[in-house]
Amino acid sequence: MKNAIILTILLILVAITSVMAQTFNVTTNKTAASLSVPTTCTNCTFNISTGATLTFTTNQTLRNATITGGNVAVNTGRTLTFNTTASTLTNTKVTFASGSNLVSSATVTLNNTTYTFLGTAVATVTGTVNMVASSLKFLGSSHMQVDGAFNMSSASSIIVGDGTPASTAFVNFNTWLLSTADLSYITMLGSNNSYINWRPYNLLTGAIWSILTQINCGILGFNSCTAGTTYGPSTLTVGGVISNATLPVKLSAFNVKLTGVTSNLTWTTDNEQKSSRFEIERSVDGINWNRIGSVKAQGNSTVKINYAYSDVLKGESVMSYRLKIIDQDATFAYSPIKTVKTQGGIAEMKIFPNPATEYVVITAKNNANKMNPDVGE
């Protein structure tokens, strides 16, 4: 009898602990296990410092969670679950390793947050997702299945694929409740990336049907046409689904060359019709891209136009670049990726004592002053 009472008390304490609000401040790289985060964490707040990463090495369930800042990583074979009550992520980058899973059955709001799915990672969404100035990226053969409400606003984006034929990433919206607003978009970068939806998606102006089967399919080298499936390169915008392959800018050259500590980007167009601008994007890992500048396009031209942009490096060893080519009606396409590599050299040398009598001490610091113009094709 006594043991039964003790067991009952322990179960009650476990239940109480699971619903108590807990705050975890992550200032350096930590695993959830090292912070004693309950595997089912209810009313939990995670404050993650810039540059710090919180890694889930076991299956993790979050209920009414708040995550702010920093990075979150979900390891291979693990599942991050949002269920029961609403959760919010703000200014956070979440990376799902190949073979990991996201399961979202509750309302989740993403504010200026990026999800990146690698390899064979899978997202299964049955609850409501509210994207505000946020991005979902599906690389490799990762994919997402959506059966709940999905709201995109403030120029949110879903990017499917990495622009190469090897990527088979896709998104499948089996829902009436896909809404896009404020220049939000879904883009399929490669010919084997697809957007699937048998149902209309909603804009501020009403529902638009997206059952388009004749975009980038049915021809040699592309997928066969399948009802409800739209292949890349294409983009779903406020105007419907259009093929990026028809973007009226013909890019005939794009090169990156190192001069000292400066990456010099040059590109040439042979033809332009209603082109708007070129946005220059940079990445240190080939996965996460940042916009670093913009160059205004000619607009309309039938002759060769040369463009250039310079980027001063600050010691990075590898840097990748691409162009986002944007038309006046907001359609766009990406250029091939170009990569440059630096070769460590001696940047600073100090000699002391000065003047010397019996000995000298020389200290040197490596940096990127010595460069190798290794331009990726």
Main-chain dihedrals φ then ψ at residue 207, nearest 5 degrees: -80, 140
> Are 142 and 171 members of one domain?
yes
Contact 285, 207 (CB under 8 A): no
Given 225, 246, 267, the domain boundary residue is 246
Question: Of 73-82, 113-122, 262-271, 359-368, which gets the smallest average pLDDT?
Answer: 359-368
Task: For residue 67, give the amino acid letter.
Answer: I
Contacting residues for 269 by C-beta, under 8 A, at least 6 apart: 249, 250, 251, 252, 275, 297, 298, 301, 304, 305, 307
Tell whether 183 and 270 lie within a shared domain: no
Q: Of 246, 261, 295, which marks where a domain is finished?
A: 246
Q: Residue 295 belongs to a domain with what CATH number? A: 2.60.40.10
Instruction: With a cut of 90, say whether residue 338 has pLDDT above it.
Output: no
pLDDT (0 to 100) of residue 129: 97
Same-domain check for residues 133 and 242? yes
Query: How distant, in Å, are the alpha carbons of 199, 310, 321 from that of 313?
Result: 47, 10, 12
pLDDT at 210: 57
The rounded distance, in Å, linking the Cα atoms of 198 and 359 is 79
Predicted pLDDT at 341? 82
For residue 87, being part of any structural domain is answered with no
What's the confidence (pLDDT) of residue 14?
Answer: 45
- pTM of the predicted model as reported, rounded to 2 decimal places: 0.66
pLDDT for position 20: 64
> What is the pLDDT, as a whole number, of residue 3?
57
By mean pLDDT, which of 118-122, 137-141, 188-192, 340-344 is the weakest?
340-344
Beta-carbon count within 10 A of 180 CB: 24
Structure-token pair, residue 203: 């804009």
Domain that holds residue 352: 342-372
Choose among 357, 319, 316, 363: nearest CA to 337.
319
Structure-block tokens of residue 256: 């990156």
What's the pLDDT score for residue 205? 53
Query: How far is 197 from 186, CA to CA, in rounded Å?
Result: 12
Q: How many domains does the chain have?
A: 3
Residue 31 vs residue 17, higher pLDDT: 31
Does residue 58 register a pLDDT over 90? yes
Q: Among 201, 228, 246, give the residue marking a domain's end.
A: 246
pLDDT in tens, 164-190: 778 999 999 988 788 887 778 888 988
Q: Are residues 269 and 183 in the same domain?
A: no
Q: Is residue 37 part of a domain?
A: no
Instruction: Identify whether 38 is part of a domain.
Output: no
